[in-house]
Amino acid sequence: MAVREYEEIRAQIHGLILARINYAEKIGDAAVLELIDEEIAAAASREDIPLPERIRLRQDIFHAIRRLDVLQDLIDDPGITEIMINGPDHIFIERGGRLEVRRERFVSREKLEAVTQQIVSDCNRSVNEASPIADARLPGGARVNVVLPPVALNGPILTIRRFPDTPITMERLLSLSALSEEMAAFLERAVRAGYNIFISGGTGSGKTTFLNALSAFIPDGERLITIEDNAELQIQHVQNLVRLEARSGGIDGKREITIRELIRASLRMRPDRIVVGEVRGAEAIDMLQAMNTGHDGSMSTGHANSARDMLRRIETMVMMGMELPLPAIRAQIASGIDLIVHLSRFRDRSRKVAGIWEITGMRDGDIEMERLFAFYETGEHDGRIVGEWRCERALSDTEKLQMAGICGDPS
């Protein structure tokens, strides 16, 4: 059956079912499926519809009425890591690090807008012409960014980042050759000992996934507070866990609650550690102050092209929140952050730890950092990058290891 013919039949049956549903009464999924079956049978009596197309019609129409329309199958597919919707007629996905064009289409721009509103409202957020940009999440934890007209010229734009249904562990990252066993052992000891760690990397480099894996090393007996724009972290082993999520202001009069406010509030909640999903603005100063006031073992992530660039970005973000001399800002960074783990996405679409750096102090007004581990590319095999990680120097500051009773140099 041709795509156009299928879409016409689908739209026709969908409209007939919507006309039959009595919205004044509560109707269950089974009743909706019964209506769909009746209309498909009626359509099949008028024209030839192959059995595979009938099965697909049943699912597509049910998803359009009760789920997220054509999005539902894409969201349910564990192999898809990203979904990009550029208006009702253009859908792209990322699978295995590569982009694919999909043949699915929304029946109309209005339907796409309705699905968008459903996603956003389920998170108690709002998006409209007056406030056309919003972040949200799906029940499974997928991150959603929405941009509506008039800002988006080609219709509602949705970008959905899917995360694995179960958290990716450090063992899984090792099996994917994202880092070496020596580095994993080093990071485990560093987290247990309470070193403050910042994870940097570009878009799609796996920062949140890596932060999830690192969090598994946090001792269960500690009180942990996580702070995020959209709740994505999947920390399951810590019993004394507090999860906080920022809130955007809405037309319903709800006041915006920022990451910065949540960090300040968390300091009065007796945390042992604070984990901020991502630092991207003035909250950097509050995060640094938390790291400098006894909350050892705190972690966060940020966008940057290198570890050194991450330090420069943190300086800029601190300036957005407070007027401080640059030497004072750098001193705060040098005393607050112990380690930077930088992730990269290589040309073969693989994600790896490019290096681990130790912040060693200040010299001549600048922050000093030493590279402890680095990835060196040695060639390619079957289109995949081949290389090795090398330990370039030992950790300088072992005081936290000693205080935690962890023997030996983790590097």
Residues 372 and 250 in one domain: yes
Give the dihedral sign, CA 24/27/31/35.
positive
pLDDT value at position 78?
A: 86
Residues of the chain with pLDDT under 50: none
Residue 238 lies inside a defined structural domain of this protein:
yes
* Boundaries of domain holding 356: 170-403
Residue 411 lies inside a defined structural domain of this protein:
no
Helices and strands, number each (H, E), in the chain: 13, 15
Residue 367 lies inside a defined structural domain of this protein:
yes
139, 162, 185 — which closes off a domain? 162
Name the pTM for this structure: 0.78
Residues 48 and 77 in one domain: no
Residues 116 and 61 in one domain: no
CA distance 116 to 223: 36
Per-residue pLDDT tens over the stretch 156-172: 999 998 877 777 899 99
Residue 410 lies inside a defined structural domain of this protein:
no
pLDDT value at position 22?
A: 65
Q: 43-74 b/e with 16+ CB inside 10 Å = b?
A: bbeeeebeeebbebbbebbbbbbebbbbbbbb
pLDDT value at position 31?
A: 81
Residues 225 and 134 in one domain: no
142, 162, 182 — which closes off a domain? 162
pLDDT value at position 11?
A: 81
Residues 297 and 151 in one domain: no
Residues 204 and 98 in one domain: no
pLDDT value at position 24?
A: 56
Residue 296 lies inside a defined structural domain of this protein:
yes
pLDDT value at position 111?
A: 82
pLDDT value at position 151?
A: 93
| Sheet architecture: strand order including 273-276 | 241-245, 224-228, 273-276, 299-303, 197-201, 339-345, 351-363, 366-381, 384-391
pLDDT value at position 39?
A: 86
Residues 130 and 224 in one domain: no
Q: What is the CATH number of the domain that holds 389?
A: 3.40.50.300
Residue 340 lies inside a defined structural domain of this protein:
yes
Residues 283 and 380 in one domain: yes
pLDDT value at position 359?
A: 97
CA distance 150 to 127: 12
- Do residues 341 and 200 make contact, with C-beta atoms less than 8 angstroms apart? yes
Residue 146 lies inside a defined structural domain of this protein:
yes
Residues 276 and 365 in one domain: yes
Q: Domain total for the chain?
A: 3
Residues 124 and 233 in one domain: no
Q: How far is CA 106 from CA 133, 178, 200, in A?
A: 21, 37, 37
Residues 295 and 275 in one domain: yes
pLDDT value at position 66?
A: 67
Looking at beta carbons, which pairs linking 75-82 to residues 24 or more positions away fall under 8 Å? 75/138, 75/140, 75/142, 75/160, 75/162, 78/164, 78/165, 80/162, 81/161, 81/162, 82/159, 82/160, 82/161, 82/162, 82/204
66, 88, 115 — which closes off a domain? 66
User: 108: which 2 tokens?
Assistant: 């109309």
Is the backbone of residue 244 left (phi > 0), alpha (psi -120 to 50) or beta? beta
Residue 409 lies inside a defined structural domain of this protein:
no
pLDDT value at position 260?
A: 93
Residues 62 and 72 in one domain: no
Looking at beta carbons, which pairs linking 62-66 to residues 24 or more positions away fall under 8 Å? 62/29, 62/32, 62/33, 62/36, 64/14, 64/107, 64/111, 65/14, 65/17, 65/18, 65/21, 65/32, 65/36, 66/29, 66/32
